[in-house]
Structure 1
Amino acid sequence: MDQFQTDDIRAAVAADILTEQQAAGLISLAQERQGIRDNMVAEDEPFEFFRGFSEIFVTVGLALLLAGMLAFSGVIGGGAAMPIVGLIFCWVFSVYIIRKRRMTLPGMFLAMGVAMFTAATIFAFTDNPPFLAFSAVGIVIMAIYFYQFRLPFAMFVLGGYAFLGVFGLISDYNAPNDIPILGYDPSFDLQSGSSFAWASLIAGILAFIGGMYFDLRDPNRISRLSATGFWLHLLAAPAIVNTVAFSLLSADGNIAYLYTAIALFLITLLALVIDRRSFLTAGIGYLAAILIWALQNSFNDGAGIVLTLLILGAFITTLGVFWVQIRARLMHILPEFPGKHRLPPYKNATVESE
Structure 2
Amino acid sequence: MTPEDLRAGVQAGILTEAQAAGLKALAESRAGRRAALAGEDEPFEFFRGFSEIFISIGLIILLSGLMGLIAWVGGAAIAIFLPLICAAIAWWWAGYFTLKRRMNLPSMVLAVTFGGSILVAGVTLMLQTMADSLDFSRWLVVLPLIVATLAMGLWYRRFRLPFSMFVLAGFALLTLYSLVASPQVIADVLIGTSRNGLGRFFDLRQSPVFALTTLVFGLAAFAAGMWFDMKDPNRLGRHSATAFWLHLSAAPALVNTVALTLYNSGGTRGMLLLILALLVITALALVIDRRSFLSAAIAYIALVLGWVIGEGGAFGAWVLLLLILGALITAMGTWWVQLRNGLMRALPDFPGKSRLPPWAG
Q: Normalization by structure 1: what TM-score?
A: 0.88
> Which has the larger helix fraction?
2
2:282 matched to 1:268?
yes
1:164 and 2:170 matched = no
Aligned-pair identity in percent equals 43
- In 1, Cα distance between equivalents of 2:183 and 2:249: 20
* Cα distance change, pair 4–169 in 1 and its aligned pair in 2 (3 A): farther
Partner of 1:240: 254
The equivalences for 1:136-175 within 5 A come to 136-172=146-182
Which structure 2 residue ranges, 5 or more long, are not aligned? Answer: 131-138
User: Which residue of structure 1 lines up, in the alignment, with residue 134 of structure 2?
Assistant: none
Shift of 1:249: 1.2
Alignment of 1:77-226 (within 5 A): 77=74, 78=76, 79-127=79-127, 130-172=140-182, 184-226=198-240
> Would the aligned equivalents of 2:189 and 2:207 in 1 still touch at CA under 8 Å?
no
In the other structure, the counterpart of 1:46 is 43
Q: CA deviation at 1:175?
A: 11
Is the contact between residue 225 and residue 247 of structure 2 (CA under 8 Å) also seen in structure 1? yes
Contact 2:48/2:104 (CA < 8 Å) preserved in 1? Answer: yes
User: Which residue in 1 is equivalent to 2:301?
Assistant: 287
Q: Provide closer, same or farther for how the CA distance between residues 142 and 300 of structure 1 changes in structure 2, counting only shifts above 3 A.
A: closer
Other-structure match for 1:331: 344
Other-structure match for 1:352: none
Residue 329 (structure 2) aligns with = 316
Taking the aligned partners of 1:28 and 1:109, their CA distance within structure 2 comes to 36
Q: 2:354 aligns with which of 335, 341, 350?
A: 341
Amino acid at match of 1:101: R
Q: What is the deviation of 1:80?
A: 1.9
- SS at structure 1 position matched to 2:351: coil
Counterpart of 1:59, as a letter, is S
Q: Which amino acid aligns with 1:236?
A: A
Q: Is the 8 A contact 2:169 2:249 kept in 1?
A: yes
- 1:62-73 correspondence to structure 2 within 5 Å: 62-73=59-70
What CA deviation, in whole Å up to 9, does each residue of 1:278-300 have, x standing for no partner? 00000111111111122125x76
* Aligned residue runs from structure 1 range 1-40, under 5 A: 2=2, 7=7, 11=10, 15=13, 26=23, 29-40=26-37
- Structure 1 spans left out of the alignment, 5+ residues: 349-354
RMSD over equivalenced CA pairs, Å: 2.7
SS of 2:205's partner is helix
**Contact map agreement 2:119 2:145 (CA 8 A) in 1:** no
Report the Cα offset of residue 317 of structure 1: 0.3
- More displaced 10-residue stretch of structure 1: 253-262 or 214-223: 253-262
Q: Indicate how the Cα distance of structure 1 residues 313 and 3 shifts in structure 2: closer, same or farther if over 3 A, else same.
A: farther
Q: Is the 8 A contact 1:200 1:239 kept in 2?
A: yes
Residue 152 of structure 1 deviates from its aligned partner by 0.4
Q: What number of residue pairs does the alignment pair up? A: 343
Distance of aligned partners of 1:26 and 1:334 in 2 relative to their CA distance in 1, 3 Å threshold:
closer
| Counterpart amino acid of residue 99 in structure 1 | L
